[in-house]
């Protein structure tokens, strides 16, 4: 894949990749509403960092997904700290834990099955299957080698199918 | 569902990338992927409108920097905001950067102060066994006096190369450095003298020590060695009253053939004068403190102030006395050897001088660069380690976050 050398306009890039970023975040978080919020935050950060985007290093879509991943991870960290604080203050009070919501927009079986995957597995499904990134691009986003992407994706899809077919 | 495990990772990758399925198992997998892909919804209109409006509005601000030339982008990379980030990240980075910067600045400031003598005195090495010396001695000094730069000059000149070889050997004794009248100077002279054989080496050593004793000095050290009976040497260090250095050097020149002689003079007159002024000021302070204490003998604070002022005065007096002592005795290093002079340097041609000068400048620059690297390398290594550790920790934390459902 040869990377385009010409820097496109940010508005054009945003228009072309908005759906992809939202899909990625929806898979990653398992929460459609949260994904929309994070999508908005992603494009804010992307606009700020746009001068640092180097077309020679990859497609804008991959770069945007990398930004989205950082935004999501920041959110997960904040959430983790918030939960830890709340647990400290509410020590001893039993809390009802609800299972994570499956990504919206899927059929019931697939939605439920995706909800039982880990974030990392959902992320790979989103990168390779939904967004159509190749193994190298997906590995760049997820921080793994292309071969590790292949192995992990195989594991994730096998698990997904098992979950879908589970009675 | 055993069939599902029959598709290997590579084949599954091909199917994901659009390969045609072969067999029931692969078709089922492709259908599952199509379902996941096809049922996905796009962004709602309000989100799309919001994001695109922000993108178009901000594009004007973002694009010019992208269109800037490379130099402009390089300058943009130096913008503090880019490195400091914002919010909590900025606070964290500032918390790390502030003490590191302070440490580097303190080190950079402290090293020259600790390394140098910190005073205004200047050193001008004067070399050469002959009577030739650099001109420009301080006005008011006697003829033949050792040249010493004005205290404010602060420059160090390279000593002219000593003449070597039979032609370079200087039979005539070198006029020694006369102490400048009225000036306090630390004098150090190094002389290398060739003697005929081991017997002459022994005689010359004894003669030099007798001469120094006669002049009121003493032998600080002697390192005599005759490795094989036919050759040898003696490295002697003498301390001689400054005003008798000339006589000592003249006597050394009579011991054999002077191969090399060079000297350093550090004028400490101003430093001693500054010390005297400080002593006078401290005396006044002590007097004032004593008067205050006498006015109110019951005030313990005033009594302590008297003690502190007295201690400061004693320290200042001791420092000045030490400087005067150091300026009273010159250090003469005499190397007696049976070995001949080093090979004569090649004759300087039309281009040799400038090339050699350029080489010297290059070597000087490289030395500075090396020094800076040595100074900064530990900090760079620490910073790299910290960055690497932070990156690893963040990567590990991210993987932990991604493992959860």
Tell how far CA B141 is from the center of its chain: 34
Instruction: Report the run of H or E that residue B320 belongs to, with start and end.
Output: helix B300-328
Q: Could you give the dihedral angle defined by the CA atoms of residues B215, B218, B221 and B227, in that order, rounded to the nearest 10 degrees?
A: 50
Maximal C-alpha separation, chain A: 58
DSSP-based three-state secondary structure for B263: strand
Give tens-digit pLDDT for A1-57: 444 567 788 888 998 899 999 989 888 888 888 888 999 999 999 998 888 888 888
Given a contact cutoff of 8 angstroms between Cβ atoms, the answer to whether B331 and B239 are in contact is: yes
CB within 8 Å: A165 and B1: yes
Closest residue in A to B28 (Cα) is A161
Site from A44, A63, A161 to mutate, B interface, most B CB atoms within 10 angstroms: A161
Unique residue bearing structure tokens 């004759």: B347
Which residues from chain B sit within 8 angstroms of residue A14, using beta carbons?
51-52, 55
Which residues from chain B sit within 8 angstroms of residue A146, using beta carbons?
none
Pairing of β B185-194 and β B233-241: unpaired
pLDDT range class, residue B38, cuts 50, 70, 90: low
Q: Percent helix, strand, coil in chain A (nearest 5)?
A: 75, 0, 25
Say yes or no to pLDDT of B132 above 70: no
Given a contact cutoff of 8 angstroms between Cβ atoms, the answer to whether A114 and A32 are in contact is: no
Cross-strand pairs, B334: B191, B236
Tell how far CA B172 is from the center of its chain: 40
Tokens of A49: 């960092």
Cross-strand pairs, B170: B258
CB within 8 Å: A123 and B17: no
DSSP B176: P
Tokens of B286: 């002590």
pLDDT range class, residue B142, cuts 50, 70, 90: very low
Q: How far is Cα B341 from Cα B323, in angstroms, rounded to an integer?
A: 37
Q: What is the CA radius of gyration of chain B?
A: 39
The closest alpha carbon to B250, from B191, B203, B188, B202, belongs to B191
pTM: 0.46
ipTM of the complex: 0.74
Average pLDDT of span B34-62: 77
If you average pLDDT over every residue of chain A, what do you get?
82
Pairing of β B257-267 and β B185-194: antiparallel
Given a contact cutoff of 8 angstroms between Cβ atoms, the answer to whether B145 and B246 are in contact is: no
Give tens-digit pLDDT for A61-70: 999 999 999 9
Interchain CB contacts (distance < 8 Å): A and B:
147
CB within 8 Å: B12 and A107: no
Site from A5, A9, A11 to mutate, B interface, most B CB atoms within 10 angstroms: A11
Closest residue in B to A165 (Cα) is B1
Cross-strand pairs, B190: B262, B333
Give tens-digit pLDDT for B177-206: 555 667 788 888 999 999 988 888 989 999
Phi/psi zone of residue B352: left (φ > 0), alpha (ψ -120 to 50 degrees), beta? Answer: alpha
**What confidence score (pLDDT) does residue B73 get?**
55
């Amino acid at each position: 894949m040869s990377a385009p050398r010409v820097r496109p306009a940010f508005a054009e890039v945003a228009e072309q990749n908005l759906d992809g970023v939202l899909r990625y975040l929806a898979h990653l978080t398992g929460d459609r509403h949260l994904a929309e919020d994070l999508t908005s935050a992603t494009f804010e950060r992307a606009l700020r960092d746009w001068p640092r985007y180097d077309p020679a290093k990859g497609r804008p879509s991959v770069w945007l997904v990398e930004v989205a991943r950082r935004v999501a991870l920041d959110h997960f960290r904040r959430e983790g700290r918030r939960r830890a604080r709340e647990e400290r203050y509410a020590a001893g009070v039993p809390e009802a834990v609800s299972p994570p919501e499956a990504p919206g927009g899927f059929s019931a079986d697939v939605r439920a099955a995706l909800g039982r995957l880990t974030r990392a597995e959902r992320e790979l499904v989103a990168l390779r299957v939904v967004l159509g990134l190749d193994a190298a691009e997906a590995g760049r986003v997820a921080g793994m080698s292309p071969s590790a992407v292949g192995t992990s994706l195989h594991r994730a899809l096998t698990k997904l199918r098992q979950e879908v077919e589970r009675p | 569902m055993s069939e599902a495990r029959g598709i290997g990772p590579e084949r599954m990758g091909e199917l994901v990338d659009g390969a045609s399925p072969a067999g029931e198992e692969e078709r089922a997998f492709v259908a599952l992927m199509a379902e996941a892909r096809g049922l996905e919804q796009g962004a709602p209109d309000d989100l799309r409108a919001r994001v695109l409006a922000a993108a178009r509005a901000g594009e004007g601000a973002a694009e010019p920097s992208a269109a800037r030339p490379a130099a402009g982008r390089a300058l943009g990379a130096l913008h503090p905001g880019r490195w400091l980030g914002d919010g909590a990240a900025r606070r964290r980075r500032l918390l790390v950067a502030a003490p590191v910067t302070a440490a580097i600045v303190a080190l950079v400031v402290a090293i020259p102060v600790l390394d140098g003598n910190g005073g205004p005195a200047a050193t001008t090495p004067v070399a050469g066994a002959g009577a030739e010396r650099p001109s420009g001695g301080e006005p008011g000094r006697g003829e033949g006096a050792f040249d010493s730069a004005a205290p404010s000059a602060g420059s160090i000149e390279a000593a002219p190369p000593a003449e070597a070889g039979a032609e370079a050997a200087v039979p005539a004794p070198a006029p020694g450095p006369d102490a400048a009248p009225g000036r306090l100077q630390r004098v150090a002279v190094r002389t290398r003298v060739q003697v005929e054989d081991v017997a002459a080496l022994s005689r010359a050593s004894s003669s030099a020590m007798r001469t120094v004793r006669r002049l009121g000095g003493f032998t600080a050290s002697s390192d005599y060695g005759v490795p094989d009976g036919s050759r040898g040497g003696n490295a002697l260090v003498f301390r001689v009253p400054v005003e008798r250095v000339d006589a000592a050097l003249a006597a050394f020149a009579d011991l054999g053939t002077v191969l090399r002689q060079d000297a350093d003079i550090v004028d400490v007159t101003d430093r001693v004068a500054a010390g005297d002024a400080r002593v006078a000021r401290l005396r006044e302070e002590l007097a004032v403190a004593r008067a205050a204490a006498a006015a109110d003998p019951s005030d313990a604070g005033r009594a302590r102030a008297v003690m502190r002022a007295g201690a400061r005065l004693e320290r200042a007096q001791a420092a000045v006395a030490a400087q005067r002592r150091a300026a009273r005795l010159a250090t003469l290093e005499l190397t007696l050897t049976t070995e001949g002079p080093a090979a004569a340097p090649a004759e300087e041609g039309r281009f040799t001088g400038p090339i050699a000068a350029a080489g010297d400048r290059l070597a000087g620059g490289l030395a500075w660069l090396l020094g800076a690297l040595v100074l900064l390398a530990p900090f760079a290594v620490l910073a790299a380690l910290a960055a690497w550790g932070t990156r690893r920790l963040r990567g590990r934390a991210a993987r932990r976050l991604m493992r959860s459902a």
